[in-house]
Amino acid sequence: MSNAPLSEGFMDILGAMAEDMLSGRIKPPGPDAAPVYQTSHIKRRSTKSEVEQRRVSLYAIVRAMHPMTVRQVFYQATVHGLVDKTEAGYAKVQTDLVLMRKAGVLPYHWLADNTRWQRKPTTFDSIEQALDETACFYRKALWREADCYVEMWLEKDALSGVVYPVTDTYDVPLMVARGYASLSFLHSAAEHIRGVGKPVFIYHLGDYDPSGVNAGEKIESTLREMAPGAEIHFERIAVTPVQIEQWSLPTRPTKASDSRAKGFGDISVELDAIEPGRLRAIVQSAIERHMPRHQLDVLKAAEESERSLLTSLIDNIGGAE
């Protein structure tokens, strides 16, 4: 692994490749693409040229699939033959991404990290500014007239930034369980479900391993227990055995130390192994079973019209002063 700073040669290669990608002369790597760089099977230290080529390839992956987590980049790097599927391989990817961001060639917002955050109250300098902010962030309640209620449940906090752009667009709650959800969190969710008064569709995304699968089952059973009488439809939409086979997802041995491993099978797959674009597509497809895209477009147009009306009211207030 090299911690060397990024050379001018690397910057030149990266710049040329970015131009080619923007012009359409080359296509970014997809989940089924051939490896963009093949690592050597000989255990030796990478040359400077090989390190720079690896970083160019990592840039291409992140540019095509962002926002991504570091672990998702690592899995895509193993799929494309950039690094070995080992802790050492992960360390190489992690170091490369740090250096590329610090050098200013990889935008920080392309990599998602929702495990660390800040709480701060929203404040304004004036009433006019508060109203202006309200106009900017005004959102129509898209599901108020819908005949059902939809929630997306995610096992990993780190991946919330990857799927949030979709749930945000469709005004769907994103529930981050962090593995086995706490009883307090489940109770709060169940209380809300009980008050919805319409069929509830819950979609769960988690690791395909004994604990990941069982965590989803526990969420379902506890919500049903705590929200008696509610019509709950619960479905695991990732990771599934069909996805593992169809997409040739990177696997790892099932941990024998897991108390639930008996009878599960020899292989496990992390949710991070699904390419980010596919993960977002899975979420969008599940939501669009209940709110088709054309319906969303109509509601968004109404939202924009109402936002414009609010803005004109703010202008009138400002003109009256």
Q: Are residues 90 and 150 in the same domain?
A: no
pLDDT band, very low/low/confident/very high, at 5 (cuts 50, 70, 90): low
- pLDDT of 118 strictly over 70: no
β pairing state of 267-268 and 232-238: unpaired
Are residues 169 and 231 both part of a single domain? yes
Residue 129 lies in a domain: no
- What sections of the chain are H helices per DSSP? 8-23, 48-65, 70-79, 87-102, 127-136, 160-169, 183-196, 210-226, 241-246, 276-287, 293-320
Provide the pLDDT confidence category of residue 109 given band limits of 50, 70 and 90.
Answer: very high
101 in the same domain as 14: yes
Q: Are residues 174 and 278 in the same domain?
A: yes
Does residue 266 or residue 317 have the better pLDDT? 266
Q: How many domains does the chain have?
A: 2
226 belongs to a structural domain: yes
What is the span of the domain harbouring residue 96?
Answer: 8-110
Q: What is the pTM (predicted TM-score) of this model?
A: 0.73
Q: Let me know if residue 305 belongs to a domain.
A: no
- Rounded Cα distance, 153 and 151, in Å: 6
Given a cut of 50, whether residue 223 has pLDDT beyond it is yes
Q: Angle at Cα 90 formed by Cα 84 and Cα 92, nearest 5°? A: 90
179 plus 236 within the same structural domain: yes
Is residue 304 a part of any domain in this protein? no
Whether residue 133 lies inside any domain: the answer is no
Mean pLDDT within 94-107: 93
Query: What pLDDT was estimated at residue 40?
Result: 43
- Residue 283 belongs to a domain: yes
| Same domain, residue pair 24 and 84 | yes
Give domain status of residue 32, yes or no: yes
User: What amino acid occupies position 10?
Assistant: F
Tell me the two tokens of residue 312.
Answer: 């004109």
Whether 54 shows a pLDDT value over 50: the answer reads yes
The helix (run of H) or strand (run of E) holding residue 152 is strand 149-154
We report the CATH number of the domain holding residue 190 as 3.40.1360.10
